[in-house]
Amino acid sequence: RYVAKYTINPARAHGMANEIGSIEIGKLADLVLWKPALFGSRPEMILKGGVIVQAQMGDPNASIPTPQPSFSRPMFGAYGGGVGYCSVAFVSGASVEKVSTEYGLSKRVLAVKGCRSVAKKDMALNDYLPNISVDPETYRVMVDGVHLTCEPAQTLPLAQLYNLF
């Protein structure tokens, strides 16, 4: 369910799930590889349609293979013909033909579908709608009749430590 928050659910919400958002035959696969400690913050490598478009890399002129600091840098798919091959422009269905012909884009132009009718029930592993109530005087939060409590966090994941460079 955590991966769905980054992949298929946003694609469904924006009407693009027929083309992106999951790894299936016929879809443009966006694969993002992460080191587990940096999940959601700093991808190690991004592949689109099987082409590397971005990766963590140190100084290209360094004399050792693992220089620090490393930065997210554009790769092969971010240059030349790779840009059009790895890209899709999502537009309204009414403008697909006009955008394709008048703007001279090298990327595919596709229409979004179903984004006006999408609802919580359409989300993968995220369709539960609990009854939530908050007492305005005590600020007690109840979810389906159960009082929710939470101790203050001692550490926060994906905070400033992960984004120094």
Please state the rounded mean pLDDT for residues 21-37: 87
pLDDT per residue as tens digits for the range 112-133? 999 999 999 999 999 999 999 9
Q: At residue 165, does pLDDT exceed 60?
A: no
pLDDT per residue as tens digits for the range 82-114? 999 999 999 999 999 899 889 988 899 999 999
**What one-character DSSP code corresponds to residue 153?**
P
Kindly state the helix (H) or strand (E) to which residue 102 belongs, with its residue range: helix 96-102
Two tokens, residue 45: 């490598």
What pLDDT does 3 receive?
Answer: 80
Please state the rounded mean pLDDT for residues 45-74: 90
Two tokens, residue 156: 């926060």
Q: At residue 162, does pLDDT exceed 70?
A: no
Q: Give the Cα separation of 120 and 142 in Å (integer).
A: 20
Q: Where are the domains positioned within the chain?
A: 8-127
What pLDDT does 54 receive?
Answer: 95
**pTM strictly above 0.95:** no
pLDDT band at 164 (very low <50, low <70, confident <90, very high): low
What pLDDT does 163 receive?
Answer: 62
DSSP string, 20-74: SSS--TTS--EEEE--GGGTTT--SEEEETTEEEEEEE--TT-SSSS-SS-EEEE
What pLDDT does 161 receive?
Answer: 65
**What one-character DSSP code corresponds to residue 136?**
T
Task: Give the burial class of 152: count Cβ atoms within 10 A of its Cβ; 0-12 exposed, 13-18 middle, 19 or more buried.
Answer: exposed
Please state the rounded mean pLDDT for residues 9-19: 94
Taken as a whole, the chain contains a residue count of: 165
Share of the chain above pLDDT 90, in %: 57
